[in-house]
């Protein structure tokens, strides 16, 4: 399968996973549980949904790059061939700039990323919160006893997203993907 098709399939796959997790998250809220268990389940769903939304967004950026003819700059996993770094919206913009080109899709996504109230900005902030939390946990010294388990709730982080916000972000990303694909078919 060509890179563009593989990226498009990956986007749809990740968005489908998000839809399934959001349904399960919503259903879990009505189940009788202790407050501690309810918070743990909510945190697990939230973190999983954020990761999948970021994966879908990453695949969407790779799909855009391929549709713009930038396949030679990125490998199938979305890493830049020149330096091995993961593809980003900025790296796609930089490739286009070097070629003296522009893309309305890339421009729009950059505007959304800069707008603190947009779905994309909310996703990016939530992603940073999850990744920073995970990084902090990996660097924390192990001072716990043999049978003790450390728990940390990402709901304490500034990028916390509730179920409704995750649903809105998923819907917005799906709409952006659809609009992008429709626009590229018009060319």
* Cα–Cα distances in angstroms (integers) from residue 157 to residues 63, 116, 152, in the given order: 31, 17, 10
pLDDT tens-place string over residues 54-82:
999 999 999 999 888 887 877 767 777 77
pLDDT tens-place string over residues 42-58:
999 999 999 999 999 99
From CA 165, how far away is CA 154, in angstroms rounded?
Answer: 15
Q: What is the mean pLDDT of residues 4-9?
A: 83
Q: How many angstroms from the chain centroid is the CA of residue 104?
A: 21
Give exposure, 151-163, as e/b (b: 16+ Cβ within 10 Å).
Answer: eeebeebebbbeb
Q: What is the pTM of this model?
A: 0.82
Q: Is the pLDDT of residue 135 over 80?
A: no
SS3 at position 101: coil
Q: What is the mean pLDDT of residues 124-145?
A: 64
How do the domains of the chain map onto residue ranges?
3-186
From CA 61, how far away is CA 96, in angstroms rounded?
Answer: 13
pLDDT tens-place string over residues 18-46:
999 999 999 999 999 999 999 999 999 99
């Amino acid at each position: 399968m060509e890179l563009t098709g593989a990226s498009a399939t990956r986007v749809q796959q990740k968005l489908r996973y998000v839809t399934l997790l959001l349904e399960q998250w919503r259903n879990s809220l009505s189940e009788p549980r202790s407050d501690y268990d309810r918070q743990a389940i909510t945190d697990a769903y939230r973190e999983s949904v954020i990761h999948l939304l970021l994966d879908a967004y990453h695949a969407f950026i790779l799909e855009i790059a391929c549709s713009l003819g930038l396949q030679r700059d990125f490998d199938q996993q979305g890493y830049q061939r020149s330096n091995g770094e993961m593809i980003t919206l900025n790296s796609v913009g930089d490739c286009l700039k070097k070629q003296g080109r522009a893309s309305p899709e890339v421009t729009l996504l950059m505007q959304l990323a800069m707008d603190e109230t947009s779905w994309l900005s909310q996703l990016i902030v939530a992603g940073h919160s999850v990744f920073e939390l995970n990084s902090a946990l990996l660097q924390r010294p192990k001072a716990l006893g043999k049978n003790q388990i450390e728990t940390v709730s990402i709901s304490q982080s500034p990028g916390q997203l509730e179920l409704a916000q995750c649903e809105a972000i998923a819907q917005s990303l799906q709409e952006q993907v659809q609009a992008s694909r429709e626009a590229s078919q018009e060319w």
